[in-house]
C-alpha cells in the first residue's frame, strides 16, 4: 500500500499533525498509541512545544527506539529558548491517568480501530470526558477506500477490530461532541484519483475536535487531589537543555560576551596600530595578581598615594576597575612584577568593553540577559569573565600576556615561588586594604 501514495500515507498523517502544530502552537502535546514514537521524534523539533508525552500499551514497541529521543549534541550548542520535556508511558487509553489532563493537543493516529467497540466507548470517556484536551486529532482507516487498495481482502491489518465508513466515523464523533462539549471538522489524507475522490473519500479519515470555550474553562484537578489516578507506568523521561536553565543561559551568554568583547577589542587594537588614537591613555594599575600576592602598590608615578577613585578624576590616568559604561577602549597599563626579589616595571594592553556597549552591539547578548542589571548579575561570579571593579565593563588582557601570567601562576601553584614571596604577600594585603 505504501507505494500507492507519495509521500507514504503514514508520513502524510504525521505531516497533517505537524502542520496543525505549526498553526496552533500547542505547548503540551500527548500522542496516544505512540508505538515507536515516530511522531514524537518529529514533534520535538517544534520549539513551541514544552511537554511531549507518548502513551502505548505495548512495552516492546515504546522501548525499542525511545533512547533516540535523547537531545542531540546540537541541542547543547544551541539550546532552545523554551523548555522541552519528553515522557513516555506504558498504559491503556481506556484507563485514566491524572498526568495526562489539561493538554493543548491530543493525537491518536490509527489507534481506535485496534480497540474493541466497548473500549472505544471508554476511550471517548477518558479522552474527552477526563483528559479534556483543547484539541484532539483522531485518524482511522476509511473503509470506503478499501476497494481501491490492490489485493486487500478483509481489514487493512490483522489486529483491526473494525474499519469505519465516513458516516460511521462521523456519527461517533458527533456523539462525542454532544456529550463532552466539543466541535469537530472532518478531513483526511491519502487522496483517491480525482474522479473517485468524492465517492470514496480519503484513505485515512481524520477528525479534528476543538473543545467549546477553547483554552478557557478548563477544569483540571489540582495536583494534590487525593482522588487522582496514576495508572500509567513511566518508561522514559528526558529534559532538553534550554535557556530557562540558569546555568545553560549563563554558559551561552558568556560565550557571546567573550566573542563580542574580543571582536570590539580587535577593532580598537587595529585602530591603535593604524596610527594611534588619543583616547588610548596610559593607565596605571593598583592591583596585580602574581607570584602569590594579591596587589602590588602603584609605583609608576610620583603621586603614588592617590586612590583608584581619585585617579579616575584626573584626565590622563586610569586604573583597573575605573572604566564605566561610557569609557571604552584599549589602555596601556603599567604594573610591577617581582622576580627573585627584583621588582620590574612592565606594560600591557588592557581593554575595557562596557556592558552597555555589548548590549547595543550584540542583540543576542541583550535578549539573553534582558537588562544591563541582569547581564552584570549573570557575569559576576563567572570565572572566565573579568569585570571592572564597578562591574560596568568586561576587562580583557592581551591574550599572550594572559597566557604568560597563567604560566607563572602555574609555577606558583607548584610551590616554585612560594618561599621567596610568602612574607611579601602579607604586606601587600595591607596595601590593598588601604587603597580600597
Chain contacts with ligand SAM (rule: CB under 6 A): 10, 33-35, 38-39, 55-58, 61, 92-94, 109-111, 114-115
Instruction: Select the residue whose beta carbon is closest to ligand SAM and give its number.
Output: 33
Residue 415 cell numbers, joined: 610551590
CB of 33 to ligand SAM, least distance (A): 3
252 cis-preceded (ω within 30 degrees of 0):
no
Angle at 183 between CA 177 and CA 184, to 5 degrees: 95
Instruction: State the burial class of residue 355 (Cβ atoms within 10 Å of its Cβ: 0-12, 13-18, 19+).
Output: buried
Nearer to ligand SAM, 18 or 424 (CB): 18
CB of 84 to ligand SAM, least distance (A): 20
CB of 62 to ligand SAM, least distance (A): 8
Residues 182 and 209 sit within 8 Å (Cβ to Cβ): yes
Nearer to ligand SAM, 114 or 244 (CB): 114
Closest CA to 374 of 250, 188, 214, 243: 250
CB of 10 to ligand SAM, least distance (A): 6
Alpha-carbon span 184 to 207, nearest angstrom: 6
Residues 385 and 358 sit within 8 Å (Cβ to Cβ): no
CB of 39 to ligand SAM, least distance (A): 5
Nearer to ligand SAM, 114 or 376 (CB): 114
Nearer to ligand SAM, 55 or 106 (CB): 55
Nearer to ligand SAM, 115 or 365 (CB): 115
Nearer to ligand SAM, 57 or 359 (CB): 57
Q: Helix 372-380 to helix 246-273 angle, to the nearest 10 degrees?
A: 100
Phi, psi of 214 (to 5 degrees): 55, -135
CB of 326 to ligand SAM, least distance (A): 60
Nearer to ligand SAM, 14 or 395 (CB): 14
Handedness of CA 312, 318, 322, 327 (dihedral sign): positive
CB of 112 to ligand SAM, least distance (A): 9
Residue 389 cell numbers, joined: 571593579
Alpha-carbon span 357 to 374, nearest angstrom: 15
Amino acid at each position: 500500500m505504501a507505494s500507492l501514495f507519495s509521500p507514504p500515507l503514514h508520513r502524510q498523517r504525521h505531516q497533517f499533525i505537524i502542520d496543525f502544530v505549526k498553526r496552533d502552537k500547542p505547548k503540551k502535546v500527548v500522542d496516544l498509541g505512540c508505538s515507536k514514537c515516530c511522531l514524537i521524534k518529529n514533534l520535538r523539533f517544534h520549539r513551541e512545544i514544552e511537554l511531549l508525552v507518548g502513551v502505548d500499551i505495548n512495552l516492546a514497541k515504546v522501548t525499542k527506539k525511545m533512547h533516540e529521543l535523547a537531545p542531540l549534541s546540537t541541542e547543547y550548542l544551541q539550546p532552545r529558548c523554551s523548555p522541552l520535556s519528553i515522557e513516555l508511558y506504558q498504559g491503556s487509553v481506556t484507563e485514566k491517568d491524572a498526568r495526562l489532563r489539561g493538554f493543548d493537543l491530543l493525537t491518536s493516529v490509527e489507534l481506535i480501530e485496534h480497540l474493541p467497540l466497548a473500549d472505544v466507548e471508554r476511550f471517548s470517556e477518558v479522552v474527552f470526558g477526563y483528559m479534556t484536551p483543547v484539541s484532539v486529532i483522531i485518524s482511522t482507516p476509511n473503509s470506503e477506500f478499501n476497494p481501491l487498495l490492490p489485493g486487500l481482502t478483509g481489514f487493512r491489518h490483522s489486529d483491526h477490530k473494525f474499519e469505519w465508513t465516513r458516516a460511521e466515523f462521523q456519527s461517533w464523533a458527533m456523539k462525542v461532541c454532544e456529550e463532552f462539549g466539543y466541535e469537530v471538522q472532518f478531513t483526511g489524507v491519502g487522496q483517491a484519483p480525482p474522479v473517485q475522490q468524492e465517492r470514496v473519500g480519503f484513505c485515512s479519515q481524520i477528525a479534528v475536535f476543538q473543545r467549546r470555550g477553547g483554552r478557557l474553562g478548563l477544569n483540571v484537578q489540582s495536583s494534590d487531589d487525593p482522588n487522582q489516578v496514576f495508572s500509567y507506568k513511566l518508561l522514559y523521561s528526558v529534559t532538553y537543555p534550554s535557556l530557562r536553565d540558569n546555568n545553560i543561559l549563563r554558559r551561552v551568554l558568556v560565550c557571546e560576551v567573550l566573542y563580542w568583547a574580543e571582536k570590539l577589542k580587535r577593532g580598537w587594537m587595529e585602530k591603535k596600530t593604524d596610527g594611534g588614537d588619543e583616547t588610548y591613555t596610559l593607565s596605571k594599575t593598583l592591583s596585580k595578581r602574581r607570584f602569590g600576592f594579591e596587589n602590588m602598590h602603584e609605583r609608576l608615578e610620583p603621586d603614588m598615594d592617590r586612590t583608584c577613585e581619585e585617579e579616575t578624576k584626573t584626565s590622563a590616568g586610569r586604573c583597573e576597575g575605573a572604566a564605566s559604561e561610557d569609557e571604552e577602549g584599549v589602555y596601556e597599563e603599567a604594573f610591577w612584577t617581582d622576580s627573585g626579589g627584583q621588582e620590574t616595571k612592565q606594560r600591557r594592553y588592557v581593554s575595557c568593553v562596557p556592558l552597555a556597549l555589548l548590549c547595543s552591539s550584540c542583540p543576542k547578548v541583550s535578549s539573553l540577559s534582558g537588562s544591563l542589571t541582569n547581564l552584570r548579575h549573570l557575569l559576576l561570579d563567572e570565572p572566565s569573565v573579568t569585570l571592572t571593579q564597578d562591574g560596568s565593563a568586561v576587562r580583557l588582557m592581551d591574550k599572550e600576556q594572559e597566557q604568560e601570567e597563567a604560566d607563572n601562576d602555574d609555577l606558583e601553584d607548584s610551590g616554585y615561588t612560594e618561599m621567596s614571596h610568602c612574607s611579601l604577600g602579607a604586606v601587600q594585603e595591607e596595601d590593598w586594604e588601604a587603597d580600597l
